[in-house]
Amino acid sequence: MMINRGRLRWQCRRALLELDLVFKRFLERDFDQLDDQQLVALEELLRLEDHDLWAIVNGSKPSRDGREGAIVALLRAP
């Protein structure tokens, strides 16, 4: 299955500014290096509701699995 990077890039636009800022840094720094497996994990993450996604990104809720955790670690990295 081919995941369109352009679509994922757009879907990093979120309802909450907090997430927009985190994704902005991620898009500039990490996004182009993601492999297909990581893109799948990102796509699943982006399906979350924004409050739930922010809770996982800010660490108040745990990641659901290791693949997601790896993407979240990139999102959190300063």
Length of the chain (residues): 78
For position 38 contacting another protein by CB under 8 A, the verdict is no
Contact residues for 12 (Cβ-Cβ < 8 A; gap 6+): 20, 23, 26, 27, 46
Give the shortest CB-56-to-another protein separation in angstroms: 12
Q: Is 61 in the site for another protein (CB under 8 A)?
A: no
Site membership for another protein, residue 4 (CB under 8 A): yes
Q: Is residue 15 at the binding interface for another protein, with CB under 8 A as the rule?
A: yes
Residue from 32, 33, 66, 78 in contact with another protein (CB under 8 A) = 78
* Type of residue found at 60: S
